[in-house]
Structure 1
Amino acid sequence: MKVYTFEKESGKHITAFNSSFVMTRIARTESATHVGMVFLEPGETIGFHKAVVPQLLLVIEGEGWVRSDMHQKRLIKKGEAVSWTKGEGHETTTESGLTALVIEAEDLLLNNFHGFMKI
């Protein structure tokens, strides 16, 4: 399990093509990719299971707890993300509610994620 931040402060200012904005790069893939939103109400859980492919969960709103079979329970909040490798057992819970973007892909590459935080 790796935890990331994708808040504006971890992004890069883009000026190409006469632009002016900040972008936080998240991931890239070359194969089929599943992108979805997860809505957990207070007290709800994504139960412990093994990741079928590498996964990235980006918290858009709220906060909760994540853990894996290799890492203890850890708080995650808005502006942070967590990734799990293929086959890694993991779980997400929340006491107050959590909305997240989930990206799943066999060849999900996160090594260029600018906001890496060691846990």
Structure 2
Amino acid sequence: MRIYNFSKELGKNIQAFNSNNLFMTRILKDSDHTYVGCMHIEENGEVGLHQATIPQLLLIVNGEGWVKGNERIEYRIQTGYAVFWEAEEWHETRTDKGLTAIIIESKSMNLDMKEEEWNSIQED
């Protein structure tokens, strides 16, 4: 057995795309263009608007915030929910209270979760 640390303190402060209060800790990178990391977005933080280079899956493990995709509509997201963006899709994430999420980027993803209707969690 091995034990690893992916805490915010080991993360890199990311400011690309006008992001702020964002720390990314790498978890896994393989030769088949698959990347896994932990995003720590502090209070009043955001991942600025940018285009996904490959499909991305964002899994909220703690906290809450808002996400946008190509449709530019802001949706509320919270612990236990995931967001999937296609390659080349414009997207952003922000939070008032802070959130922690696992981000998976891979050319090939076969999602096996229950898909939610957006209007069930869309902010009024």
* Aligned residue number for residue 60 of structure 1: 61
Normalised to the residue count of structure 1, the TM-score between the two structures is 0.70
* Aligned residue number for residue 5 of structure 1: none
- Residues 3-14 of structure 1 mapped to structure 2, 5 A cutoff: none
% of aligned pairs identical?
Answer: 39
Which blocks of at least 5 consecutive residues in structure 1 are unaligned?
1-30
1 or 2 for the larger relative contact order (CA 8 Å, sep ≥6)? Answer: 1
- Residues 32-43 of structure 1 mapped to structure 2, 5 A cutoff: 32-43=33-44
* Aligned residue number for residue 82 of structure 1: 83
Q: Deviations over 1:58-88 (max 9, x none)?
A: 0000000001122510000000000000000
Moved over 2 A (4+): none
SS of match in other structure, 2:58: strand
User: In structure 2, what is the Cα distance between the partners aligned to 1:56 and 1:83?
Assistant: 5
SS of match in other structure, 1:41: strand
Normalised to the residue count of structure 2, the TM-score between the two structures is 0.67
SS of match in other structure, 1:69: coil
User: In structure 2, what is the Cα distance between the partners aligned to 1:45 and 1:107?
Assistant: 26
* Aligned residue number for residue 73 of structure 2: 72
CA RMSD of aligned residues (A): 1.0
Aligned pair count reads 87
